[in-house]
Chain A
């Protein structure tokens, strides 16, 4: 119960940060970080997958409403959710995947976290930016935006995780 509540609070805070602050950041003119993703990264792995997809969809949709990009963020979030277990599996390597892997500094080392956040942010941003531009014109620019956004998002989310999630929270 406590877990559900903390997840809801985390999602709400992530949404508020995204809608009210990050959507107004346009670094160098076109880089906008997607920091609401950290709520999705920290979503427990042991809840039903269909519920994970639904949460991802709802979060993405709400952000979409405020970015005037209906469906784009939502689609990217669903693809992120789809990729998440595979990325965890990939990063864990030979080690068996635990069902309650928690991607926070308290449980994982920096390289693992960096890979996790970077790859998933990249997946999200690649989907998001490609769907938003919806053309291969100026593909170089699209790539720059994808990479820039990914780096920016990774940096912000990692700092959030190291600031607020370095202590063990497993009760």
Chain B
């Protein structure tokens, strides 16, 4: 008997090790079975809150990567919008006689890429924005630049890796804009004061314009696609002896906090411009 007690005393630690190992193996065995097991559920209730908050913190590090993916996805969606396409009805006589229904074709007219703003000014009369893509990435002069919230401006100059942009807050800005609620086209200009506000000219006085009406691009130029938001009507005033209204437009893009912009290419630009070139107006 004494021997036995002595034996247990000397080998107690082995016993402990064996018991603990058995516990481990029981747990492992349980976790292998498919029905949910009790121990794991209790453990998860302890670890869950820690993992959740820590995971939240760790996710911050991936935000820029995630953002990049979202931009890419967004761009793919934007490319599929109708105003990116030239939609034509095939109304040639031969086809009309063959089928009654009007057949339409969609041809891609605009294509997107994106860039990041590296430098921008808003306090000058001739403001400019520099983006981190250039001729290497296929950027060309007179491409439209949009932000996620609205129109930004037009590409002015292109170097190998960078491009400069004339934003709407620039005294030379002329954008053909439309107020869809009255289907009236006007010209958007900037007066050199507030970088968040531009003016819509050439809208006749007899038209009823509500504050908050949206102002979109008309699509009459070869630069901007049709129907992109420029801003909203902020204030309408009439000057004496003037035939046109003075419309203050609150710009949709926040020019002080631009980061990511889309650059839009008109695939038919040279074709349209070659037609225009025959009229020597300028």
**What residues of chain B lie closer than 8 Å to A131, measured between beta carbons?**
28
B58 touches A65 (CB 8 A): no
Further 12 A-B residue pairs, CB within 8 A, beyond A60-B24, A71-B31, A79-B21: A48-B13, A49-B16, A50-B17, A54-B16, A57-B20, A65-B46, A70-B27, A71-B26, A71-B27, A74-B20, A78-B17, A131-B28
Instruction: Indicate whether A81 reaches chain B with its CB closer than 8 angstroms.
Output: yes
**What residues of chain A lie closer than 8 Å to B20, measured between beta carbons?**
53-54, 57, 74, 78
- How distant is the Cα of A62 from the Cα of B139 in the complex, in angstroms? 56
The B-contacting residues of A in range 23-66, CB under 8 angstroms, are 24, 48-50, 52-54, 57, 60, 64-66
Instruction: Indicate whether B30 reaches chain A with its CB closer than 8 angstroms.
Output: yes
Residue of A nearest to B51 (CB): A66
**What residues of chain B lie closer than 8 Å to A54, measured between beta carbons?**
16, 20
Number of interface residues of A (CB under 8 A): 27
Instruction: Indicate whether B40 reaches chain A with its CB closer than 8 angstroms.
Output: yes
Query: What 7 A-B pairs are tightest by C-beta distance, nearest first?
Result: A71-B27, A49-B13, A75-B24, A50-B16, A71-B24, A71-B28, A50-B13
- B53-67 toward A: CB 8 Å interface, digit per residue (1/0)? 010001000000000
**What residues of chain B lie closer than 8 Å to A65, measured between beta carbons?**
43-44, 46-47
A70-B28, A70-B39 given; A75·B21 CB < 8 A: yes
**What residues of chain B lie closer than 8 Å to A50, measured between beta carbons?**
12-13, 15-17
- How distant is the Cα of A65 from the Cα of B42 in the complex, in angstroms? 10
**What residues of chain A lie closer than 8 Å to B119, measured between beta carbons?**
none
- A70-105 toward B: CB 8 Å interface, digit per residue (1/0)? 111011001101100000000000000000000000
Can you list 24 A-B pairs, Cβ within 8 angstroms, ordered by A?
A: A24-B58, A48-B13, A50-B13, A50-B16, A53-B17, A53-B20, A54-B20, A64-B43, A65-B44, A65-B47, A66-B50, A68-B40, A69-B31, A70-B28, A70-B39, A70-B43, A71-B26, A71-B28, A72-B28, A75-B25, A75-B28, A78-B21, A79-B21, A81-B17
Instruction: Indicate whether A136 reaches chain B with its CB closer than 8 angstroms.
Output: no
**What residues of chain B lie closer than 8 Å to A66, measured between beta carbons?**
47, 50-51
A residues at B contact (CB < 8 Å): 19-20, 24, 48-50, 52-54, 57, 60, 64-66, 68-72, 74-75, 78-79, 81-82, 131, 134
For A19, A53, A131, the residue with the greatest tally of chain B CB atoms inside 10 Å of its CB is A53
- Shortest C-beta distance, A150 to chain B (Å), equals 21
- How distant is the Cα of A75 from the Cα of B24 in the complex, in angstroms? 6
- How distant is the Cα of A74 from the Cα of B51 in the complex, in angstroms? 20
Residue of A nearest to B27 (CB): A71
Instruction: Indicate whether B87 reaches chain A with its CB closer than 8 angstroms.
Output: no
B residues at A contact (CB < 8 Å): 12-13, 15-17, 20-21, 23-28, 30-32, 39-40, 43-44, 46-47, 50-51, 54, 58
**What residues of chain A lie closer than 8 Å to B15, measured between beta carbons?**
50
**What residues of chain B lie closer than 8 Å to A19, measured between beta carbons?**
50
**What residues of chain B lie closer than 8 Å to A74, measured between beta carbons?**
20, 23-24, 27
- How distant is the Cα of A50 from the Cα of B25 in the complex, in angstroms? 19
A71-B24, A75-B25 given; A134·B32 CB < 8 A: yes
**What residues of chain A lie closer than 8 Å to B26, measured between beta carbons?**
71
**What residues of chain B lie closer than 8 Å to A48, measured between beta carbons?**
13
Residue of B nearest to A74 (CB): B24
Residue of A nearest to B37 (CB): A70
Residue of B nearest to A131 (CB): B28
